[in-house]
Amino acid sequence: MYSVLRSILFCLPAETSHNLSLGSVWLMQKLGLSRLFAKPMVSSPLTVMGIEFPNAVGLAAGLDKDAKYINGLSALGFGFIEVGTVTPKAQAGNPQPRMFRLPEAEAIINRMGFNNLGLEHLLEQVKASGFKGVLGINIGKNKDTPAEHAVDDYLIGLRAVYSFASYVTVNLSSPNTPGLRDLQFGQPLIDLLAALKKAQLELAEKYGRYVPMAVKIAPDMAEDDIRRVAEVFVEQGIDGVIATNTTIARDAVAGLRHCDEMGGLSGLPVRDSSTTVIRILADALQGRLPIIGVGGISDGASAVEKIAAGASLVQIYTGFIYRGPALIAEAANAIANRDAA
């Protein structure tokens, strides 16, 4: 059924079909029809970052930026949903077109630019949803906020979403906000995380509840940089790392239509680089904090590959667009069966 729907949607511009698909997910949930697309999966709860997840497969940030579709997406079988990236102020993002399919490679290039309706709107949606599952909220900085003041935006975001989130993700790795990736390195990273950690502990005391904080990194780092970042995460008391965001590399899609579009590349072409980052992180961290693996997961085998490399959980996005809801159960069952073996 999904393959027929996809063939229709893929006739439309990528962002148009993206919005129509999410609207359909919302409508199916309202009509009680999500079960027509959701596939059976084994019960496979696990605890990561002190949180119990129904299964190991989550939705990566970026699909539901404004938290409009939490219940509909959850009804498809995701073990957890991550919404955002949300910025303190609403922003339109980059001019359209800004999303491009590369179907031959089961890939997408996007330069959305953190388009979202802002913190206040996102939190209204979260409250209205009444969602009781595991919810990650991904925070970022506004495009017009200078890098030297980025910490202010992240602190605003953390304080606003803290009491609504199961965990908070600090997005330092989108290639579509100028200067953002520079925050992943050296003293800027240390200063940012130190400020966020201080605020996190203050919020935990205020609300009587500790909400874990993860950092999302890029797949385009050298091995030495990955290892240094891992040590900083441990030193600063970060609770988890999400590896990885989209890549700026184009070698894997050279010659394909849209391959030269600016933005971040996701899907199958980032599978190997993401897994390599996870493997290096796992070696550097030695279990001191968990890894959430994302990038190029298109079937059960590629989900298990991330777990074998050192991830505790996985997230999907582009594979979900190409494969549909069946991928959720396939990945969750493959991971559960591996763990049971």
Catalytic residues: 174
State the Cα–Cα distance between residues 312 and 299, nearest whole angstrom. Answer: 17
Helix axes 300-309, 326-340, angle to 10 degrees: 50
Q: In whole angstroms, what separates CA 134 from the centre of its chain?
A: 13
Neighbouring residues of 172: CB distance < 8 A, sequence distance ≥ 6: 180, 181, 183, 184, 189, 192, 215, 216, 217
> Phi then psi for 107, rounded to 5 degrees?
-135, 165
Give the CA distances from residue 131 to residues 46, 128, 147, 165, 281, in Å, rounded to whole numbers and listed in that order.
Answer: 19, 8, 34, 11, 32
Q: Are 176 and 113 in contact (CB under 8 A)?
A: yes
Q: How far apart are CA 49 and CA 125, in angstroms?
A: 25
- Considering just the CA atoms, what is the radius of gyration of the chain in Å? 18
Measured from the Cβ of residue 181, the count of other Cβ atoms closer than 10 Å reads: 18
Residue 129 zone, left/alpha/beta (φ > 0; ψ -120 to 50; rest): alpha
